[in-house]
Structure 1
């Protein structure tokens, strides 16, 4: 089965410039996504997949990814901004590791494309996605 520690998803960032791995795990009783980029390990709340898909369905059109590091303010009305907004279903960050909570708009969209939940652009910059 794909998406386990033993058989992770092998994904590429939307521009196709970097490869990374992701799998589901349980930490402190919560299902999480473990994202390994080189030697950096990020954790995201796994419910982000369903929550983001529902938001995109309601949005009904393409939405910019707007990926940004945790300390950088994301562009408004982007996937990144939604992934840390007080108005999303978890009331804040889907990223779980302080200091490494950003880049939601970089690493979650390719997984959602792999799961056939979204269409995702693969341009050098300013990529967008929309729900299928």
Structure 2
């Protein structure tokens, strides 16, 4: 099953029945958090990530009455995972961006050498793309 299929299944458990109350949906949140805990225990991080992503989707995240009725224990577990997920995602992005920048730097150096021989102005598109990617994903720490 594809991740999008699983995520859609999770969405349907929340939104498929219009007669569900916020309390009913809170029990569903708690159920999915328990499923995510089991996935983590089994080392199935792909499914864990899919569940976390689905629960963070706008359709579910905006259900404030529902999230307000989730048990404290489940809520604490959820918040801990979201913080960890953001940190890991940021670290992976930085690693990827660093790799892209190193590759681009090597390519630029080679291209610069060729351009010196040919008299061509170098392109900055690769650098701007990498900087734009970093800017879009990194948090601002300056107020």
- TM-score, with length taken from structure 1: 0.28
Higher strand share: 1
Higher helix share: 2
- TM-score, with length taken from structure 2: 0.27
